[in-house]
Amino acid sequence: MPAIDAVGEFETIQRLFKPLAHPEWARGLADDVAALPSRPGYDLILTKDALVEGVHFLPEDPLDTLAQKLLRVNLSDIAAKGAVPFGYLLACHWSERCGWPEREAFVAGLRRDQALFDIYLLGGDTVSTPGPLTFSVTMLGWVPAGRAVHRGGAKPGDVVFVTGTIGDGWLGLQACQGTLKLEQDRLDYLCRAYRQPLPQTEFADAILKSATASADVSDGLMADAGRIAEASGVCIELDLEVTPLSAAADSWFAGRVDEEAALEQLASGGDDYQIIFTVPASQEEAMRREADRRHVRLTRVGQVVEGNGLVVRYRGEDVTPAKTGWTHD
């Protein structure tokens, strides 16, 4: 495809992206394609996510953390399936404001996360756009053949767990926008959670071992729980009052008058990049030990019962949330 690019596609690829490329499979980014050997006994897991300025991120978000977020939202999808990531393809649609320093900052973020998550650039495309800065990533991972954990396997009697804390991304967006009133260190923590969410890649093997169904929490705890229920043909009961909160989220929560409404907001805000998953009740304790061993916070947020869809409870009473998440509403 002809590609025009103010700074120069060739320079951008040669000087910025080539050092990030997989030493073998990316073929020096000189060939339009990556060539990836098959790995017998494993399935390839692929996921693709797009980020658009003004829609999925703020124009004032720094480009290095933006690069990290771009990789991490995709790494989160891979981890939730019990898979181990190894590489990605990247399309950069540079807007007019993206000169050389902006591209360098972006690539610095990629470099940092490639080292942190042991992944490589495999290929992609770099073009100019008259519109907003836009990226899309195709992330690849391996999982033992036939073992990927999907949304559709939850069974009545299973318990529902979530890793980490919920609501920090939603609060973090407000913190970054300056519309949240909290102590500065709380604001900093939340803003970091929004800009550099930490996907639970270390927990993928525990998911692989025991989870009956799993998904990452990107659209909101309730929405993503609801989709597991739907895909599995079961009912999931969520207990709102046990929603795990960070210390920063807790200090925001402490200032709320309507606790139920506040929890609904945190559990529908999305941008969490935690893993919600189900395990047989017999595995509950073993799973808690797996989490302890990895220093991963793990919270039982509900249970799977016969029926259909999502039931949300607050202190034992059924409630009807105004919204469950970003989409499907």
Annotated binding site for substrate: 56, 271, 326
Query: Cα–Cα distance between 58 and 55 in angstroms, integer?
Result: 8
Question: Where do we find the tokens 């609801």?
Answer: 226
How far apart are the C-alpha atoms of 295 and 282, rounded to whole Å?
Answer: 22
Nearer to a copy of itself, 30 or 247 (CB): 30
Residue range at the interface with a copy of itself (CB under 8 A); choices 82-90, 257-265, 285-293, 307-315: 82-90
Q: Which of 22, 93, 103, 195 binds a copy of itself (CB under 8 A)?
A: 93
CB 134 to a copy of itself: min, Å: 6
# residues near a copy of itself by CB under 8 A: 75
Q: Are 304 and 161 in contact (CB under 8 A)?
A: no
- Binding to a copy of itself (CB under 8 A) within 58-77 occurs at 73, 77
7, 15, 18, 42: which one binds a copy of itself (CB under 8 A): 42
Residues within window 114-133 making contact with a copy of itself, judged by CB under 8 A:
122-125, 127-132
Q: Which is nearer to a copy of itself, 186 or 227 (CB)?
A: 227
Distance CA 238, CA 226 (A): 10
Q: Which of 145, 91, 150, 139 lies closest to 117 in space, CA to CA?
A: 139
The Cα 70–Cα 122 span in angstroms is 15
80 binds a copy of itself (CB under 8 A): yes
Known binding positions = 32, 47, 49, 56, 77, 124-125, 151, 216, 218-219, 271, 326
**Cβ(99)–Cβ(7) under 8 Å?**
yes
260, 266, 267, 270 alpha-carbon torsion, rounded to 10°: 160
CA 161 to CA 150: how far, in whole Å?
15
- x/- binding map, residues 298-327, to a copy of itself, per CB under 8 A? ---------------------------xxx
CB atoms within 10 A of CB 288: 14
| Segment 181 to 220, residues that bind a copy of itself, using CB under 8 A | 215-216, 218-219
Annotated binding site for Mg(2+): 32, 47, 49, 77, 125, 216, 219
| The one among 55, 179, 184, 255 contacting a copy of itself by CB under 8 A | 55
Sites for a copy of itself among residues 246-265 (CB under 8 A): none
CA dist., res. 238 & res. 288, Å (int): 18
Residues 10-29 that bind a copy of itself (CB under 8 A): 10, 27
Looking only at residues 265 through 294 of this chain, which bind a copy of itself when binding is defined by CB under 8 A?
270-271
Over the range 307-321, which residues count as b (16 or more CB within 10 Å of their CB) and which as e?
eeebbbebeeeebeb
Say whether residue 38 binds a copy of itself (CB under 8 A).
yes
